[in-house]
Amino acid sequence: AVDEGLGIEGTGFGLTSVQTVLEAHGGKLKASSQPGYGSTFTVMLPIVEQE
């Protein structure tokens, strides 16, 4: 994938990797995007109480 605005090329695996790790720990990834304004990514992880 190429971000033409910044001229940065990536592999496209970043968010997939993040989502895989989050799901392994009971978490979630939420993404929202507005064309012309940008994207927001929210990482949610459960709170685990100490025993």
Per-residue pLDDT, 48: 85
- How far is Cα 48 from Cα 13, in angstroms, rounded to an integer? 28
- Per-residue pLDDT of 1-51, as tens digits, reads 545 556 667 667 788 889 999 999 999 999 999 988 888 999 999 998 888
pTM of this structure: 0.62
pLDDT number for residue 28: 93
The pLDDT score that the predictor gives to residue 26 is: 94
Q: Reduce the DSSP state of residue 26 to 3 states and report it.
A: coil
pLDDT at 15: 86
In this structure, the number of other CB atoms found within 10 A of the CB of residue 51 comes to 3
